[in-house]
Amino acid sequence: MFFKQSNDGRMTILIVYVDDIILTGDNTREMDRLKKVLATKFEVKDLGQMRYFLGIEVTKSKKGISISHRKYVLDLLIETDMLGCKPSDIPIKARKRMESDGIPMDRERY
């Protein structure tokens, strides 16, 4: 993470995770300069307002910014073919021993 605060109190924040970058702040001149510097060294694409980052949905409104894992969870449920599943207070039956087909499970594995 890179953080720069100018003499007039404005700031620029750059967050990098592997090949994903967030550039934010209230110093638009510094943000534009930084974008140009990055473009000379790397292949970069400005996607505009952030909507999705590292599995987190980002929504901006007049009330503020909201973040959610809704899309990530829905994608995971679809991938595991569990989208239509119903919640349960007790997801599995309680047993005295962990076993599969009568054979005790290796507890160290879990």
d(Cα 74, Cα 12) in Å, to the nearest integer? 33
| Whether the predicted pLDDT of 54 surpasses 90 | no
3-class DSSP state for residue 103?
Answer: strand
Mean pLDDT, the chain, as a whole number? 83
CA angle 6, 56, 43 (to 5 degrees): 60
Domain ranges, ordered by start, for the chain: 1-47, 49-85
Say which DSSP state 105 is in. Answer: P
pLDDT value at residue 101: 67
More confident residue, 102 or 3: 3
pLDDT tens digits, 24-43: 999 989 999 999 999 999 99
pLDDT tens digits, 68-99: 999 889 999 999 988 988 777 766 666 555 55
pLDDT value at residue 40: 94
